[in-house]
């Protein structure tokens, strides 16, 4: 709105893939957005890619610019939608590329210095926001890993205490394993079955689902039996599917 433009995009730079991914948009058509998602703009490609390389704003006329300054996957869409001018501002922090701010205008001609300066201010604010968000995600990820490690230690401690308290009785240990497995996986129910007489017999259970059987047949048609027979985990994501 401040630049008198028609639409705008904020890109997030994926350093591993070396591409720009559309993170936030205003008045970008579905076709345009689908193309950006299917074929992201590469580093150095188009106005935003060139701005990231030079570290400076890049303003172009869509019809007159060389193929290097208009990403080929979106050129036809931009022309078809009547967009004529693009201004790309790189989002940089201490030399690191974080993304790009791009505005598109339906009127031709150069962007004024005042507009460019204003958007550079917006870009600086976006850089700060992106950097803070990434720091928060890193801290949140580390905290999550620490919490998971602590939960595993607590569960292991419960099992070890059960072993120490009942060195000759396996039942308390199996009960502790079923309870700990349920809690660690944030699950609703857990059952431990052991081979007995050509079948799998219930040895321990924790949870609210009533157990109305004593044994399961050893056949691959039963999930638990298949895991036992094949010696590999079997993961069914949706029992109703």
**Residue 100's beta-bridge partner residues?**
11, 90
Q: What is the pLDDT of residue 61?
A: 85
pLDDT in tens, 88-117: 999 998 888 999 999 999 988 888 888 888
CA distance 136 to 26: 26
Q: What is the pLDDT of residue 193?
A: 94
DSSP state of 71: -
pLDDT in tens, 59-94: 888 877 666 678 888 888 888 889 889 999 999 988
Average pLDDT over residues 50-54: 93
Q: What is the pLDDT of residue 213?
A: 86
Q: What is the pLDDT of residue 238?
A: 86
DSSP state of 100: E
- Retrieve residue 150's tokens: 């602590």
3-state SS assignment for residue 207: strand
C-alpha dihedral sign at 135, 140, 141, 145: positive
The torsion angles phi and psi of 172, rounded to 5 degrees, stand at: -60, -35
- Retrieve residue 44's tokens: 């150095």
Residue 20: pLDDT over 90: yes
Cβ distance 29 to 77 under 8 Å?
A: yes
Q: What is the pLDDT of residue 67?
A: 61
- For the chain, give the mean pLDDT: 88
Residue 124: pLDDT over 90: no
Angle at 22 between CA 114 and CA 112, to 5 degrees: 10
Better pLDDT: 130 or 82: 82
CA distance 124 to 233: 49
CA distance 28 to 102: 11
pLDDT in tens, 191-225: 999 999 889 999 999 998 888 888 899 998 888 99
Regarding pTM above 0.85, the answer is: no
Task: Work out the percent of the chain whose per-residue pLDDT is above 90.
Answer: 41
Average pLDDT over residues 23-47: 91
pLDDT in tens, 151-205: 888 878 888 888 888 888 889 999 999 998 888 888 899 999 999 988 999 999 9
Residue 9: pLDDT over 90: yes
> 75-85 burial, b for 16+ CB within 10 Å, e for fewer?
bebbeebebbb
C-alpha dihedral sign at 228, 229, 232, 235: negative
Contacts of 185 (CB under 8 A, 6+ apart): none
Q: What is the pLDDT of residue 25?
A: 93
Cβ distance 86 to 24 under 8 Å?
A: no
């Amino acid at each position: 709105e401040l630049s008198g433009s028609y639409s705008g995009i904020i890109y997030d730079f994926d350093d591993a893939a070396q591409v720009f991914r559309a993170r936030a948009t205003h008045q970008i058509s579905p076709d345009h957005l689908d193309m950006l998602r299917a074929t992201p703009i590469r580093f150095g490609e188009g106005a935003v890619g060139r701005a990231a390389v030079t570290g400076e704003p890049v303003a172009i006329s869509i019809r007159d610019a060389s193929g290097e300054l208009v990403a080929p996957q979106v050129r036809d869409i931009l022309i078809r939608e009547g967009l004529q001018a693009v201004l790309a501002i790189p989002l940089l922090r201490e030399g690191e590329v974080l993304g790009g701010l791009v505005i598109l205008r339906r009127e031709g001609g150069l962007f004024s210095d005042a507009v460019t300066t204003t958007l550079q201010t917006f870009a600086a604010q976006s850089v700060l926001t992106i950097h803070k968000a990434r720091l928060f995600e890193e801290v949140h990820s580390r905290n999550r890993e620490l919490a998971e490690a602590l939960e595993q230690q607590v569960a292991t401690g419960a099992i070890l205490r059960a072993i120490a308290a009942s060195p000759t009785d396996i039942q308390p240990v199996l009960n502790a394993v079923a309870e700990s497995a349920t809690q660690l996986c944030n699950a609703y129910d857990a059952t431990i079955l052991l081979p007995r007489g050509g079948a799998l017999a219930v040895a321990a259970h924790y949870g609210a689902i009533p157990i109305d059987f004593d044994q399961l047949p050893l056949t691959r048609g039963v999930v638990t039996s298949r895991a036992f027979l094949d010696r590999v985990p079997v993961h069914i994501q949706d029992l109703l599917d």
